[in-house]
Chains A and B, each alone.
Chain A
Amino acid sequence: MFVEYTWLVPLMPMICFLLIGFIGKKTPEKGGYIAIAGALISFILAVLISYEYITGDAYPDPVTKSIEWFVIPGSTDFVLNLGYYVDGLTCMMMLFSSFISTLIFIYSIGYMHDQGERKNRYYAEVSLFLTGMLGLIVSSNFLEMFIFWEVMGLCSYLLIGFWSWRHPDGDAASANAASAAKKAFLVTRMGDVCLMAGLFILLGEFHSLDYTTLFDPATIALADPEMITLAMFLVFGGVIGKSAQFPLHDWLPDAMAGPTTVSSLIHAATMVKAGVYLVARGYPLFVQNPEVMLFVGIIGGVTAIFAASMALNNMNIKKVLAYSTVSQLGYMILALGAGGYLIALGMDMGGAEGATLITAGTAGMVAGCFHMMNHAFFKALLFMGSGSVIHAVGTEDMRQMGGLRKHMKITSMTMLVGCLSIAGFPMFSGFWSKDLVLEIAMEAGHDGSIWFTVMWVLAVITAFMTAFYMFRMWFMTFMGEEGEATKHCHGESPKTMTMPLVILSVFAFGSGFLILFGLDSLVSFTVTDTAFIVGGAGAHGAMYYFEHLFTNVYTYLTIVLALVGIAIAYLMYAKKSINPGKFNRNGTSMLYNALTKRWWFPDLYNQISWKLGAGVAKIVNFVDRQVVDGSVNGLSGAVVGGGDVLSKAQTGHVQDYSSIVLLGVAVLSTLFVVIAMIMGGM
């Protein structure tokens, strides 16, 4: 009975958005409570729906319902629907998004309390943001999803640019925020345009964008496989933009210009998860071609290490977290790519051997989604923790912090949990999922392409780097001598901020154990229930993963590496027995420079966008004014000038007139005769 009301889930925050937008103006204080209420109701609904769905008869088949929205006419009509689609993946996403959002909203009450009038706008926009995410999750077709996808893009634009005017820190900061917001929207838009093109192809092939139609093996078999491959490449383009994958990753660090709560919303609960979700959701189509999945995996792996490298020397607490997000997203994408690659191979191969591969491959799906959820918890925690720190000290520069542990006990401890989790410390949630990712990457390398082995190596290095830079951050912030800013620290943040931290730290620690309670089957059914699995393949049980994890020698390798990373960070930044300056020639080495310059990516983008945008525009404008408009003006000028010249023939001398008359007679007579000769009259 609740499943029928799935459409209410995204609608609740939407109502809140409208409420706050229209009537909230007079009472900016209430906005927060309305938003929290909306998110909470959504969460409760999500819980009820998930419970009912999982215990219901339909499980594990998806429950879906659509109404016709409109039709694009064609030889066969292209029908576009509006509806909801509930399956395991939906439930998982819905639950953690709404849950984390609720906590973030609560946290915002404290964090944003000094924003006055703006609070109203803030709560309206985050509500809309949540609408976008939840809508995206429950959509029953790609078009509907795309709409919410874009709504989220808009909200991220608005929220990143939240301080784009009248920034509390002055004009430079507002300009920075405005530019960051634009960049976020434009870069993701670039991906969106690709996604749109992908959707065109799918719509053209299937005459529908409904998941039920698109994921049906019977209809897939009818479609042109090359077109599907192309479409999936394009769809993945959208993912690259939205989930900040290489090479469109550059907007995410800039997006730190928004309020920290927004960052945690974007990084943990919404926005960037949408890309990963899209890959997971489109799995049945993605796995049609191994090439696509190989591409996906490589992008993921490269992104992971690439982003991690830039986090190594960054001094801004939020930017470190931002890079870590990009890096973790790389993991998720790598996992999905690796798993999908195996499935795709298995499908090509067929038979029992293929079935084995597919069974192995489903683990990739599980790993990706599992890591996405864990990441949501610990990243929300980390961001809110950093927000708490920033709130207290008023700066984002870690060099000015240090020794905050004494002032902010709860914050420091909860953040430690988060750091341990992301670093993959055993038993913490990050450990489970990250090692599952490494595991599947290795398997894909073993059974499939050598490329995945390379990716596995990269991912392992990344794991080490992650441990290092996360703890670098933690030590720099909370340990060591007290920095500039620490001296005028306000002390611990209010309860509305610490309480969500505590709750989240519980999840950040414990969410990894969910896999023992059936989470794997929840998400892997998304793959298996689509019935294109050949030869009786199915997902492994949870215990299989569990067993595999601890029997695999490489797991211990990563644990060791993580510990080494933590230790180095400790020596460098807490005990200060190793001077980091030694390795980077005090910040002058090429590598250091490359990292601070973000591998010159922003410069490159600026150059390209200026050349392709403003540069061409200048030429076009020049042509427009001088050639196109110039010819119009020139023509009219010629006519007017011709008038002046011709009027000079009117000399006022009557005998000139008569001469012209006689001349006219002569000329016309000749002409007449000539015409007559030509036409044969004479």
Chain B
Amino acid sequence: MLILIPLIGAIITLFMGGSKQKYAKYVAAVFTLITLVLTLFMMVNYFEDYSVLGENYAWIQTSLIQISFALEVDGLSILMVFLTALLSLLVVIFSVHDADEDRPNYFHALVLAMEVGLMGVYLAADYFLFYVMWEVTLIPMYFMISWYGGPRRHYAAIKFFIYTHVASLVMLIGIFAMGFQAGTMNGGVVDFSFATINSLMPMTSEAFQALVFALLFFGFAVKMPAVPFHTWLPDAHTEAPTGGSVLLAGVMLKMGSYGIIRVCLEALPLGAEYWQWVIIGIAILSMIYGAYGCIAQTDLKKMVAFSSISHMGMVMLGIGCLTEAGIMFAIFQMFAHGLITGILFMVCGMTGHKVGTREIPLLGGLAGKMPMYALFMMIGFMASLGLPGLVGFWGEFPLIFAFYEFLVEQDLLWMILFCLLSLMLTAGYYLWAMQRTLFGPETTKIDLTHAHDVSKCEGIALAVLVALVAVFGVWPDAALQFIEPYTEWIIGVI
């Protein structure tokens, strides 16, 4: 149902060309809103008894291969589903003015198509469907970048498209391997459903799991993206339109970490143990490398893109601990980062849109001219650097604590220094960027006469996110309660 609604919406808006294209945004808004309402309804339902909700239809049934159209929501996916529905709606609201310029019906159709794919990824309970949806997200994003993107959009779009496609194909090999292995164990019928594979895979040998884990992990790590597989991200973000960036960073990157938990951990616990130190190494590398990358950037949006790398590294760190707390707060950090990057990319998009450039050296003193803009930017940056009281802190503090606990067991306490360094750097680059863009003397290098403050629709979209950032910042348990049953279960698997 959650997939169907945006799909219908996408098709309708797609055909709203010509004179009707003005209304495309309302249609898109209505459909995303319906989806969000349904999601909330589902969350309430879930909240009542924490049971896994799902539906299952037979799809491709051959003598050898069984593929079903199975959807499922549990503690891992429910927040992601919520995030998808929310950000899609907000992107539509936020882009009301931006998208009016060039074929708004296509833009909104793409947003809705993205929503279809993303929902599909998070809801799928069958590897075939999962992979299908995984790839479905690529195409709208490709178009979004190359239609509505910046000057180097062609390069960025094709790089994004092919790089992530290669990764997903490698992942596909892993999926095949799991499917057939499960098939043999299951009496010759290759059933691609999560239930079958995830229950059979943990019984396989460590060598097999390690191999398959490597394949799958590569696919997910590119998506996350983890250093050194990240280079598509800064380019894609720099060129993507605001709405695209929000969805890309807010929800799409989470597909990677979601996959790691859902597939790699659930199905291949021995593989995870085998590669644990590699995961942690990559995670730490991402965190620090991403943070340093941020310092070096002059493009505001590119900086935020690198910060995503850094923060997703933190998610991976949580996963790498393979402890209940680690995974729990990795999921929470995914959620938190989704909300925060929403704000960040909207703000960065506004910078380019309203001021005309995102080059930090050209900016300065914008706070005087655009106070609301400055306020949102500051909240976003503060949340992202882990200021307590905002949601980012709960993705950071307990997560690093989980890592600390892990290190205590391993007797490798000094490694916590990496995390601390990354925290320090994070604060550094955000503050430095703020100093140079918002504060100081008003820039004379560019013409600011046409720079307007946040418009009403943009304000609404941002305010919703800010409110959520604050609410979950004060009351993290609201989100944790959804996650908890899941982590309790998965730790049993591991």
Contacts and interface: CB of A to CB of B under 8 A. Distances in A.
A528 B439 CA distance: 49
A273 to B, nearest CB: 19
B254 to A, nearest CB: 21
A313 interface: no
Interface in B362-383: 365-368, 382
Interface string A125-155: 0000000000000000001001111110010
A624 B230 CA distance: 9
B343 to A, nearest CB: 16
Interface in B437-494: 438-442, 476-477, 480, 484, 487-488, 491
Interface stretch (A197-205, A322-330, A343-351, A359-367): A197-205
A70 B438 CA distance: 36
A44 interface: no
Contact of B442 (A72, A166, A186): A166
Interface residues of A, number: 53
A189 B427 contact: yes
A151 B428 CA distance: 17
A113 B323 CA distance: 56
Interface stretch (B17-25, B28-36, B64-72, B400-408): B400-408
A70 B476 contact: yes
B439 A171 contact: no
- Interface residues of B, dominant DSSP: helix
A585 B342 CA distance: 60
A454 interface: no
A72 B401 contact: yes
Given A73-B488, A178-B439, A617 B295 contact: yes
Interface stretch (B79-87, B206-214, B387-395): B387-395
Interface stretch (B99-107, B175-183, B194-202, B416-424): B416-424
B289 interface: yes
B423 A613 contact: no
Interface stretch (B51-59, B236-244, B261-269, B324-332): B324-332
A182 B438 contact: no
B297 interface: yes
Interface string A614-625: 101110110010
Interface in A608-637: 609, 613-614, 616-618, 620-621, 624, 628-629, 632, 636
Q: How large is the interface on B (under 10, 10 to 19, 20 to 34, 35 or more residues)?
A: 35 or more
B431 interface: yes
A215 B192 CA distance: 55
Contacts of B393: 147, 150
Contacts of B274: none
Contacts of B423: 189, 193, 196
A200 B401 contact: yes
A154 B323 contact: no
Nearest to A184: B431
A421 interface: no
A150 B387 CA distance: 7
Contacts of B442: 165-166, 171
Interface in A160-219: 161, 164-166, 171-172, 174-175, 177-179, 181-182, 185-186, 189-190, 193-194, 196-197, 200-201, 203-204
B365 A174 contact: yes
B405 A185 contact: no
A165 to B, nearest CB: 4
B435 A178 contact: yes
A253 B24 CA distance: 56
Given A186-B428, A193-B420, A73 B325 contact: yes
Contacts, number: 148
A614 B420 contact: no
A193 B424 contact: yes
Given A73-B488, A165-B440, A621-B296, A182 B424 contact: no
A168 to B, nearest CB: 12
A197 B293 contact: no
B136 to A, nearest CB: 24
B163 interface: yes
B361 interface: no
B322 to A, nearest CB: 13
Contacts of A116: none
A203 B431 contact: no
A33 interface: no
Contact of A182 (B389, B397, B431): B431
Interface in A503-532: none
Most B CB atoms within 10 A — which of A157, A175, A181, A617? A617
A4 B294 CA distance: 47
A185 B430 CA distance: 11
A69 interface: yes
B295 A74 contact: no
Given A177-B439, A204-B404, A628 B228 contact: yes
11 contacts: A164-B439, A164-B440, A165-B366, A165-B368, A179-B440, A185-B431, A193-B424, A614-B295, A620-B293, A620-B296, A621-B296
Given A166-B368, A179-B440, 16 more contacts: A72-B398, A73-B325, A74-B324, A78-B325, A150-B388, A171-B441, A171-B442, A174-B365, A182-B434, A190-B424, A193-B420, A200-B416, A203-B401, A617-B293, A621-B297, A628-B227
Interface of A: 69-70, 72-74, 78, 143, 146-151, 154, 157, 161, 164-166, 171-172, 174-175, 177-179, 181-182, 185-186, 189-190, 193-194, 196-197, 200-201, 203-204, 609, 613-614, 616-618, 620-621, 624, 628-629, 632, 636
Among all A-B residue pairs, the 9 with the closest Cβ atoms: A171-B441, A178-B439, A621-B296, A617-B295, A147-B388, A164-B439, A617-B296, A620-B292, A629-B231
